[in-house]
Amino acid sequence: MLALLAIATPTACRRADVPVMLRLGYFANVTHAPAIVMLDRGFLAEELGPGVTLQTRTFNAGPDAVEALFSNALDITYVGPNPAINAFARSHGEAIRIIAGAASGGAALVVQPSITSPAQLRGATLASPQLGNTQDVALRAWLAGQHLATTREGGGDVHIMPQANAQTLETFRAGRIQGAWVPEPWASRLVIEGGGHVLVDERTLWPDSQFVTTQVVVRTAFLREHPDVVTRCLRAHVRAIAFLNDDPVAARALVNAAIGRLTGKTLSDTVITRAWSALRFTVDPIAASLRKSARDAAAAGLLDSVNLDGIYDLGALNQILARAGQRAITP
């Protein structure tokens, strides 16, 4: 789904008076609420100023967004940690930089009512949003900790079937899968609309219940060519995070209405309230959790061991925070 919005750009953002296009990616998920808010509240349009053309595109899962970055079809995107790690590794540390955090929490393994222990998953089929995406890696890592083997091809003790989140709700309700590790609002929809229950709330697996779910990633080339545009986008992002935390009731209604426009259906009040309670919106990318995700992906055979030094560029974010009297973030 593409949306074009002509907005302006300052002269400092231009090269030889050539108009700048910012192509922004995000998901129609509650975990991507900062992107939805900065677009719907007009924060991004206000910060970019005259002369920049904004193009937005929605995705189902991170690997597709990363492919768009690699094909030069996207400049900045909201994405989970593992697709960002894959992009950094594939490009030998050149293609992308993480420039801010967006959300923590909001992911769970939801299973059929008859399943009450990990041992009952042997022989089961579980879904994830996409092979190698953040929830896919989290699921494989947790299963390995339960001594349940998986393979990239869907074999092993537990069969993992990557599929779109909307399809997962259908297959779960039909009984064709026994569970799924998914982000919000899909975890809540599997519980409320699908009759499932949470076997693993991912927050319970992390120190202080904090782990990066969504972060902001930029093409390194775009950052070098248009640093002012990136800074302005981050200012809008910081404003969106503040709005989400300062007025959660209004923010929840705004995000739900936007999800309805993007997907054709709003979430029930019960679903979005439950999903919202599982999330924390923050500009902190929670770097320690990303590094563990990289180790988990390598252990699952989805990624070679990778040196993540240089994956973060928080300079612009920290300048914005300093001006607001807030502490700098050290990755």
Please give the span between the terminal C-alpha atoms of the chain, in angstroms, as a whole number. 33
The CA distance from 134 to 117, in Å, is 23
Biggest CA-to-CA distance, the chain: 64
Cβ(80)–Cβ(62) below 8 Å: yes
Same domain, yes or no: 131 and 227: no
Cβ(107)–Cβ(87) below 8 Å: no
293: pLDDT strictly greater than 60: yes
Q: Return the CATH number at 52.
A: 3.40.190.10
Q: What percent of the chain has pLDDT over 70?
A: 95
Q: Give the domain range for residue 19.
A: 2-104+210-323
- Which tens digits make up the pLDDT trace of 177-220? 999 999 999 999 999 999 999 999 999 999 999 999 999 999 99
| Global pTM value | 0.87
6: pLDDT strictly greater than 60: no
29: pLDDT strictly greater than 90: no
Same domain, yes or no: 137 and 235: no
Same domain, yes or no: 91 and 233: yes
8: pLDDT strictly greater than 90: no
Residue 231 CA to chain centroid, in angstroms? 20
Same domain, yes or no: 214 and 319: yes
Same domain, yes or no: 71 and 28: yes
Q: Which among 180, 209, 238 is the end of a domain? A: 209
Instruction: Kindly state whether residue 129 falls inside one of the protein's structural domains.
Output: yes
Instruction: Kindly state whether residue 237 falls inside one of the protein's structural domains.
Output: yes
Count of structural domains within the chain? 2
- Which tens digits make up the pLDDT trace of 311-325? 999 999 999 999 999
Same domain, yes or no: 172 and 125: yes
Residue 82 CA to chain centroid, in angstroms? 9
Instruction: Kindly state whether residue 329 falls inside one of the protein's structural domains.
Output: no
The CA distance from 22 to 290, in Å, is 26
Same domain, yes or no: 127 and 143: yes
Query: Which pLDDT band, with edges at 50, 70 and 90, does 7 fall under?
Result: very low
Please provide the average confidence, as pLDDT, over all residues in the chain: 92
23: pLDDT strictly greater than 60: yes
**DSSP 3-state assignment of 159?**
strand
Count, in order, helices (H) and strands (E) of the chain: 13, 12
Same domain, yes or no: 156 and 224: no
Average the pLDDT over each of 9-13, 134-138, 254-258 and give the range with the smallest value: 9-13
Same domain, yes or no: 218 and 118: no
Instruction: Kindly state whether residue 330 falls inside one of the protein's structural domains.
Output: no
The CA distance from 82 to 203, in Å, is 17
Same domain, yes or no: 157 and 242: no
Q: Which among 170, 188, 209 is the end of a domain? A: 209
Same domain, yes or no: 263 and 299: yes
Cβ(122)–Cβ(150) below 8 Å: no
The CA distance from 47 to 234, in Å, is 9
Q: Provide the strand spans (E) within the chain.
A: 2-6, 20-27, 52-59, 76-79, 96-105, 107-111, 125-128, 159-162, 179-183, 197-201, 212-219, 279-281
Same domain, yes or no: 203 and 276: no
Instruction: Kindly state whether residue 181 falls inside one of the protein's structural domains.
Output: yes
Strand 197-201 and strand 52-59: pairing?
A: unpaired
Residue 183: count other Cβ atoms within 10 Å of its Cβ. Answer: 30
Cβ(165)–Cβ(110) below 8 Å: no
Instruction: Kindly state whether residue 249 falls inside one of the protein's structural domains.
Output: yes
Cβ(4)–Cβ(57) below 8 Å: no
Cβ(306)–Cβ(89) below 8 Å: yes
Q: Which among 209, 228, 263 is the end of a domain? A: 209
What pairs with residue 128 in β-bridges?
A: 162
pLDDT (mean) for 155-170: 95
Instruction: Kindly state whether residue 115 falls inside one of the protein's structural domains.
Output: yes
Instruction: Kindly state whether residue 331 falls inside one of the protein's structural domains.
Output: no
Which pair of tokens denotes residue 178? 């026994």
